[in-house]
């Protein structure tokens, strides 16, 4: 169970409390874009946006990991992270089957490829202790989420991470998560020694799911996960992605994500909301705060670029640093009244 307020350690200086969650500030990173928070190779930082190599990750409110499962999972990609320069063309070809730029955004279908929770806790988490971490967890049953929570509890003392995030809404693993959500909330949330964040999809009944989350003791919500989408080759009809359908992210989903955050507040949801979707600038962050978000998360709109574009990663990182400085100075805005219907 979560520790009571009386037994929590004092918050670190300049921290931000969102209910049970303590962040260093209101700007976090979205799941998957920075892999496991550290790269094994400085030359080919597999799983991490090259832009992140020029940004102090320890200064973010929290860094969210790639979604981790009980066992290692290839998904539609690979778990390898030891690619050499000679193998780079093959790696880029693989990326082309699971990640494609589209109109004002990106389509991905990685399918939860990851090294598994045990390998992450053994090989990666100890090297990211300078960061505030949100560990993203994914499974196909309540039993799997219980196992994941128990393993995090055993390896990570309460208070050493910001939270665990339950990804019960991913579109590229071909599973109907609505069939297990209630059991996941009822069985896994009470077992966690760490605050739990539920990641919402705009393609499910997010208002009902948010209300169920609040009743189950979830500490916060992430809004939103990617939007289920499809692109076809107009000449052949062949799907762009190996999984046919993928998750749409980036600038294209910003109006959707803003709507979801606003509707959650209009529906009376009071849980803290970490908003994500198309955020690149301070103005984007401000829009989400006005909509009702308590924190904002940088995803593909910030960290992804075309492969030649990564040559400009140091310049892109300067923009990220500007956003980070601005959000660290942010004071909560007075909430606007919901519009009358």
Specify which residues 296 forms β-bridges with.
27, 275
Residues 224 and 166: their CA atoms lie apart, in Å, by 13
The kind and range of the H/E element at 173 are: none
- The string of pLDDT tens digits covering residues 42-61 is 777 778 899 999 999 999 99
Backbone angles phi, psi at 79, to 5 degrees: -95, -5
217 contact partners, CB below 8 Å, separation of at least 6: 2, 189, 190, 196
- DSSP letter for 75, please: T
285 is catalytic: no
Residues 101 and 249: their CA atoms lie apart, in Å, by 10
What average pLDDT does the structure give for the chain?
90
End-to-end Cα separation, the chain, in angstroms: 40
Residues 107 and 223: their CA atoms lie apart, in Å, by 18
From the list 38, 170, 293, 298, the catalytic residue is 170
Closest CA to 250 of 289, 274, 276, 230: 276
- The string of pLDDT tens digits covering residues 247-303 is 999 999 999 999 999 999 999 999 999 999 999 999 999 999 999 999 999 999 999
Whether the per-residue pLDDT at 166 is higher than 50: the answer is yes
Residues 217 and 212: their CA atoms lie apart, in Å, by 9
What is the Cα 312 distance to its own chain's centre? Answer: 24
């Amino acid at each position: 169970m979560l520790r009571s307020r009386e037994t929590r350690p004092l918050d670190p200086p300049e921290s931000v409390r969102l209910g049970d969650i303590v962040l260093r500030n209101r700007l976090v990173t979205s799941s998957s874009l920075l892999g496991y928070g550290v790269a094994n190779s400085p030359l080919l930082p597999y799983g991490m946006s090259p832009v992140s190599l020029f940004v102090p990750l320890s200064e973010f409110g929290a860094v969210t990991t790639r979604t981790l499962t009980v066992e290692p999972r290839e998904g539609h990609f690979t778990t390898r992270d030891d690619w050499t320069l000679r193998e780079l063309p093959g790696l880029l070809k693989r990326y082309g089957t699971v990640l494609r730029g589209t109109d004002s955004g990106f389509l991905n279908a990685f399918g939860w490829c990851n090294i598994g929770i045990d390998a992450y806790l053994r090989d990666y988490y100890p090297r990211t202790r300078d960061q505030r971490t949100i560990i993203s967890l994914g499974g196909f049953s309540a039993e799997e989420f219980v196992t994941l929570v128990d393993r995090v509890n055993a390896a990570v003392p309460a208070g050493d991470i910001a939270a665990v995030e339950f990804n019960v809404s991913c579109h590229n693993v071909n599973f109907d998560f609505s069939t297990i959500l209630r059991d996941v909330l009822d069985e896994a949330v009470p077992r966690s020694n760490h605050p739990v964040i539920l990641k919402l999809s705009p393609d499910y009944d997010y208002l009902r799911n948010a209300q169920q989350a609040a009743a189950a003791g979830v500490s916060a919500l992430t809004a939103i996960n990617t939007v289920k989408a499809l692109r076809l080759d107009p000449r052949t009809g062949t799907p762009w992605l190996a999984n046919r359908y993928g998750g749409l992210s980036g600038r294209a989903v910003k109006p959707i994500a803003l709507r979801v955050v606003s509707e959650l507040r209009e529906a009376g949801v009071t849980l803290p909301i970490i908003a994500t979707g198309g955020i690149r600038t301070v103005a984007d962050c401000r829009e989400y705060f006005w909509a009702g978000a308590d924190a904002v998360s940088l995803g593909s709109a910030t960290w992804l670029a075309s492969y030649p574009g990564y040559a400009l990663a140091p310049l892109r990182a300067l923009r990220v640093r500007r956003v980070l400085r601005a959000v660290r100075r942010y004071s909560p805005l007075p909430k606007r009244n919901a519009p009358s219907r």
